[in-house]
Structure 1
Amino acid sequence: MTSRSTSPERTSRIVRRHSLAALDESDWKALSEGNPFVDWRFLNDLEQAGSVGKPAGWIPYPIADEDINGRILSAASAYLKEHSHGEFVFDWAWARAAQGAGLSWYPKLLVASPFSPVTGPRLLGSDRHPQAASRVIEELQRIVLEHGLSSAGINYCTEHDARLLDQAGWLSRYDWQFHWSNRDYGDFDDFLATLRRRARKNIRAERRKVQESGWTFRWVSGQDISARELELATRCYLSTFALYGNRPMLNAEFFRRSAASFSDRFLVCIASHADEDLACAVFWRSESTLYGRYWGSLDDTRDVHFETCYYQGIDYCIRHGLKTFEPGAQGEHKIRRGFLPVKTRSFHFIRHPGMHRAIAQYLKAEDQALMRYREHLETLSPYAE
């Protein structure tokens, strides 16, 4: 696939690339709104470490709308996909339906942050340059039609993106995640005071059990992390995937690069017992948000999981004045620990008219089920008010 230029009278042009390295880092970063998972460094680290690429079934194909001086106005981290792994917006049923109808679902085009179910700008610059972002949408559609792909998807997008995609007629889909919000708490006890008695009692019991068992915790950043601690993060990540029989897409080189790239915005919370590091959780942060991404353990540490992944993160946010904690996808059990449902959005352009109609009908039924689910979630809130 080659780059496509716009007509001469236009004051901008669309370009297609085969690597993020072919696009200007500073322009890209200026449009990423501080979100680490669409940051040029994060996406480039994935490429350079081999976590994405043809062997991984995530073929980089970034698209940008540039002005006449080559400055990026809008862009999308697009990938040609040969499977649906690592997306967290599940379309396996659509793939099976396509196969049953004698159609191919793969390859497809996806705009996403690989392996990262984190809402953020997917049409970079859509807030400042909506016309340029609309041209990127048109280019995504053009690629699907030109190359006979089944579809294009845009996962975990912002409301700015959503408005433009609604206008373009893409199919809308949503789901629920569970996030924690800092209500200007002074400390962890201040947070607990806002909960109902039972929730407060359960959290204190979970934390006390871990403490009395002799576990200790420390945070290290990419700026200070040692080679041994990075090795622990990699081993713990791999252990989780081995436990569930899944293929790990990240590797030691990615974690090494990301720690160096993000410095104090890359964080690892390490759980130790009897002076031995046995478990950890990997986080990234922005100015306002903590993102929990990867957990793993070298021992049976169920209770330590909740402390490392949730309570330590809440404590960190309170100490550092962060407003939001996003601990990852799924997990209704997070509600009783103070995390509440937040809507996530994705959009889909389906080439085949019959598949488009079938998926639209599917999404209509799914929407109704998800609204009923939200009503159920509201009854589980642990907060006293």
Structure 2
Amino acid sequence: MYQVRSIEGISEISAKDWNHLCGQDYPFLRHEFLHALEASSAVSPSTGWTPCHLLMNEGRQLIAVMPMYIKTHSYGEYVFDWVWADAWQRYGLPYYPKLLTAIPFTPATGPRIGTHHPLNKIVPLFIEAIQALGESFNTSGWHGLFTEPELTQIGKDQGLFTRLGTQYHWFNRQYSDFEHYLAHMMSRKRKSIRKERDKISKLNLRIRCLEGHEIDSTALNHFYQFYQITHLKRGRKGYLNRAFFEQIVQKLPEQLMLCSVERSTEVIASALFFKSSTTLFGRYWGATEEIDGLHFETCYYQGIEYAIRHGLQRFDPGAQGEHKIARGFEPVDTWSLHWLAETGFQPALTQFLEEEHQHIRAQQDDLRTYLPFHKNTHSQED
């Protein structure tokens, strides 16, 4: 009764059918977002991302979908497996291609399967299909990145490897405004943030939060220039091209916010955010000049103020960055799932993941001691 097939592009299924199963609140699983990646060729075989999305039918009825890609490298994933690839190579086996379920270039935890059925019914069927596809495509395995807790647990119960990671998120504890938020901090930490923000406020800059269709072509031109400047400083061009950003501004305006920084009539920096009904996602940033504290103001403090103003529960500012701790972003777990076809690596991989898990837990415990809040302030773990 159940059939799973793969398609070679998101355009092979209608936005209506895909979004009916995935919903439209979490922006990165929406058909429009994934289609923009493919239509702009940011995701394509030539960039090492070959779409291979899975569709599940019960009889004639489509009941579940899952994004998936055949990868020929590990760039743009943010769960680093270069050590694994090296081990495969030294063992005389190819690590690439591999199968990947993830949102390209987007390290944001969220749903990875769209369905109205219980996940514990759907996941085993997808795993079976993935393993069959892995064999037919001669891949080293499959990886599911930044999986939500329910999917992570079901995958673990099905015998998949689980891998722990850390990000730093801000949580809204019914703050009325930014000062109310600061009031929950120790005096020294509170003064440090005020000093940091005061430094920017004295520069006579205008900071605006543009939403939806307020993000016009001029604002997008400035942002895209800044986005590429940020990546060129690291010696490479940004993964995403202007065509991608044009499409998401056109197709997902209600889920975008652009923080624009202006000096007189000149735009000098901007940061692009996505949002759901509960969460703000900080994604891309850039500036034409280095101004001490401007990155923190634009990407973090403005995001916190926006989340408070709009009653959002959480602010996910993106991957990495222990410097976020001092500004009230708390360590949170991220998870990934893994299936490897070569069983000979399982003992070594099990040991690697256990040791990494212990190290990350110890690091998280240590990092929480640096949070700026009063001791009686509840942490996210509570």
Coarse TM-score class (shorter-chain normalised) = over 0.9
CA distance in 1, matches of 2:333, 2:116: 20
The answer to whether residue 25 in structure 2 is matched with residue 66 in structure 1 is: no
Q: Following superposition of structure 1 onto structure 2, how do residues 141-152 of structure 1 map, counting pairs within 5 Å?
A: 141-152=131-142
> Among residues 40, 53, 58, which one is paired with 1:49 in the alignment?
40
Q: Is 1:74–1:136's contact at 8 Å kept on the other side of the alignment?
A: no
CA distance in 2, matches of 1:189, 1:266: 25
Q: Secondary structure at the match of 2:236?
A: coil
Task: Name the residue aligned to 1:223.
Answer: 213
Q: Following superposition of structure 1 onto structure 2, how do residues 117-266 of structure 1 map, counting pairs within 5 Å?
A: 117-125=107-115, 128-266=118-256
Q: Secondary structure at the match of 2:17?
A: helix
Which sections of structure 1, spanning at least 5 residues, go unmatched? 1-9
- Report the CA distance between 1:126 and its aligned residue: 7.7
Instruction: Name the stretch that deviates more: 61-70 or 128-137.
Output: 128-137
CA distance in 1, matches of 2:350, 2:10: 33
> Among residues 266, 275, 289, which one is paired with 1:299 in the alignment?
289
Task: Name the residue aligned to 2:379.
Answer: none
* Residues 262-311 of structure 1: per-residue CA shift (max 9 Å, x gap): 11211110111232101111110001110000111111134110000000
Task: Name the residue aligned to 2:71.
Answer: 81
Q: Secondary structure at the match of 2:27?
A: coil
Task: Name the residue aligned to 2:26.
Answer: 35
1:329 maps to amino acid: A
Shift in alpha-carbon separation, 1:375–1:264, aligned structure 2, 3 A: same
Q: Is 1:153–1:347's contact at 8 Å kept on the other side of the alignment?
A: yes
- Report the CA distance between 1:378 and its aligned residue: 1.6
- Report the CA distance between 1:129 and its aligned residue: 4.5
Q: Is 1:75–1:136's contact at 8 Å kept on the other side of the alignment?
A: no
CA distance in 2, matches of 1:50, 1:375: 42
Task: Name the residue aligned to 1:278.
Answer: 268
- Report the CA distance between 1:101 and its aligned residue: 1.1
CA distance in 1, matches of 2:325, 2:266: 31
CA distance in 1, matches of 2:21, 2:187: 44
CA distance in 2, matches of 1:69, 1:243: 51
> Among residues 364, 373, 379, which one is paired with 1:383 in the alignment?
373
* Residues 198-221 of structure 1: per-residue CA shift (max 9 Å, x gap): 111111011100010122210112
CA distance in 1, matches of 2:105, 2:249: 17
CA distance in 1, matches of 2:128, 2:154: 11
> Among residues 309, 320, 325, which one is paired with 1:330 in the alignment?
320
* TM-score after normalising by structure 2: 0.95
CA distance in 2, matches of 1:203, 1:329: 21
Q: Is 1:290–1:322's contact at 8 Å kept on the other side of the alignment?
A: yes
Q: Secondary structure at the match of 1:235?
A: helix
> Among residues 307, 317, 322, which one is paired with 1:317 in the alignment?
307
* TM-score after normalising by structure 1: 0.94
- Report the CA distance between 1:125 and its aligned residue: 2.5
- Report the CA distance between 1:355 and its aligned residue: 2.2
Q: Secondary structure at the match of 2:122?
A: helix
* Residues 307-350 of structure 1: per-residue CA shift (max 9 Å, x gap): 00000000001111111100000111101111101100001101
- Report the CA distance between 1:149 and its aligned residue: 0.6
- Report the CA distance between 1:70 and its aligned residue: 3.2
CA distance in 2, matches of 1:223, 1:285: 15
Q: Pairwise CA RMSD of aligned residues?
A: 1.4
Q: Secondary structure at the match of 2:99?
A: strand
1:43 maps to amino acid: L
- Report the CA distance between 1:127 and its aligned residue: 6.5
The answer to whether residue 95 in structure 2 is matched with residue 105 in structure 1 is: yes
Q: Is 2:123–2:155's contact at 8 Å kept on the other side of the alignment?
A: no
Count of residue correspondences: 374
Q: Secondary structure at the match of 1:223?
A: helix
Instruction: Name the stretch that deviates more: 262-271 or 21-30.
Output: 21-30
Q: Is 1:284–1:292's contact at 8 Å kept on the other side of the alignment?
A: yes
Task: Name the residue aligned to 1:269.
Answer: 259
2:59 maps to amino acid: I
Which sections of structure 2, spanning at least 5 residues, go unmatched? 377-382
Q: Secondary structure at the match of 1:173?
A: strand
2:164 maps to amino acid: Y
